[in-house]
Amino acid sequence: MSVIPQSRPSLLSQLMQVPVIVAALGYLVDMYDLFLFSVVRVPSLKALNVVDDQLLTQGIRLLNYQMAGMLIGGVLWGIIADKKGRLSVLFGSIIMYSLANIGNGFVTSVDQYAFLRFVAGVGLAGELGAGITLVTEVLPKEVRGYGTTLVATLGVLGAILAYFVADLFAWRISYFVGGGMGLLLLVLRFNVFESGMFEKIKEKSVDKGNIMLILGNGKRFGKYLMAILVGLPIWFVVGILITFSPEFGSAKGVVGINAGKAVMLAFSGQVFGDIASGLLSQYLQSRKKVIGLFILMSVCMMAVYLLIPLKDAFSFYIVCAFLGFCNGYWTLFITIAAELFGTNLRATVATTVPNFVRGATIPLAALFVQFKPDLGVINSGLTLGIATSILALIALYFLEETFTKDMNFVEKD
């Protein structure tokens, strides 16, 4: 009797698994909130009686509170995900985020606003890392790049959605929408199953989520630090060049730049960049080559943004879109971080690394403000852009290629 060979699942059927879709929608909600503040920064602060000459200062303050929350949340949720499971984070983080986001719609003072941006940051910190970890563990290595590309694409659409919602509704309603989306997503997560790789080590005497396994080991810490440095140019572009695009536009003599529109166009570009980098990575079977290419393209677009004379707002916005495209290696960078480490540390790394990169906005913004009086807006941005890009390229050079790496391993003392 002949045996009929079983056909392999199609790519589409593998990508349509519930954990992949829920992770992608979680990142959409994450990005919606994260960049909603960039879109509504000016109108919301003006509604809270912040005067014009304090909009930049107070905006940086609130951004710093948000990013500080993400730094703390990244460590907290990463450890929980490795100790208790990926699903515990997917539930806990979305509840905290949703309630904090709804609270943002009720604030009556800048101090309340700052506190709730911090709480929202803590909640949001768990979304992407836990989602990427789950996707890389439930999909086979041949297609996990497609899975993370899908997550990235839907996620970046959240930033675009933030612009259109804020354009249609008042800033308070926009926050309510974000909180409502989070609560709806919570319902979908009841159908998500846990990672098989985590289930295998759950009851074993393996040290899980112990960050000292990273900090106390020189080789692991080196990999961890380099993974963070690779992502720095992305959040320099997002956190400085795009968020404060009205100030950069003014310094170049281009008036009337709207930060919300700049964010929307930058992330529209990033959608295409994420797709291009993910597909190119699959074609070349390499993460490192594609990341290096996108960093070099980003350097070129930073130079155009900061140094090339632009006559009008339309030209300025086009450059913002191209800057966003060059940021399209964001998910590849998180994927390579997750692939570098074993199952007992993977969620800790995948959650903390992107949040430390996001949190780097705090020192970058502080340096930008420090340099601005002496160097001016343009040269301050150029100095930081060159520095972050050089650090990223050096770090990438020393990282191992992870495209074909087997994920079923653990880190030991």
Say what the pLDDT of residue 359 is.
80
Mean pLDDT of the chain: 88
User: What share of the chain in percent tops pLDDT 70?
Assistant: 98
Q: Which residue has the higher pLDDT, 317 or 126?
A: 317
71 contacts: CB under 8 Å, gap ≥ 6? 125, 355, 356, 358, 359
Tell me 4's DSSP state: P
Query: Rounded to whole angstroms, what are the CA distances from 363 to 63, 204, 231, 245, 271?
Result: 12, 40, 15, 18, 27
**What is residue 210's predicted lDDT score, i.e. its pLDDT?**
85
The pTM of this model reads 0.81
Q: How confident is the model at residue 304 (pLDDT cuts 50, 70, 90)?
A: very high
Distance CA 91, CA 154 (A): 19
Please tell me what DSSP assigns to residue 412: -
Take residue 5 and report the two structure tokens written for it: 């060979």
Q: Which residue has the higher pLDDT, 190 or 399?
A: 399
Average pLDDT over residues 47-68: 87
Judged by average pLDDT, the poorest of 7-21, 58-72, 217-231 is 7-21
Domain boundaries, the chain: 16-193+207-398
pLDDT for 380 equals 94
DSSP letters spanning 268-308: HHHHHHHHHHHHHHHHHT-SHHHHHHHHHHHHHHHHHHHHS
**Mean pLDDT, residues 350-363 taken together:** 86
Per-residue pLDDT tens over the stretch 359-405: 888 889 889 989 988 999 999 999 999 999 999 999 999 999 998 88
CA angle 159–160–166, rounded 5-degree value: 90
> Is it the case that residue 236 has pLDDT exceeding 50?
yes
Residue 1 reports pLDDT greater than 50: no
The helix, strand and coil proportions of the chain, stated in percent and rounded to the nearest 5, come to: 80, 0, 20
Give the Cα separation of 319 and 216 in Å (integer): 43
Q: What is the mean pLDDT of residues 91-106?
A: 92
Confidence of residue 8 (pLDDT cuts 50, 70, 90): low
Domain at 16-193+207-398, CATH class: mainly alpha
- pLDDT at 410 (0 to 100): 83
**Lookup: tokens for 358:** 């996001």
pLDDT, tens digit (0-9, with 9 covering 90-100), for 320-344: 999 999 999 988 898 898 899 988 8
Q: Between these two residues, 212 and 386, which has the higher pLDDT value?
A: 386
Nearest one of 83, 120, 121 to 99, comparing CA atoms: 120
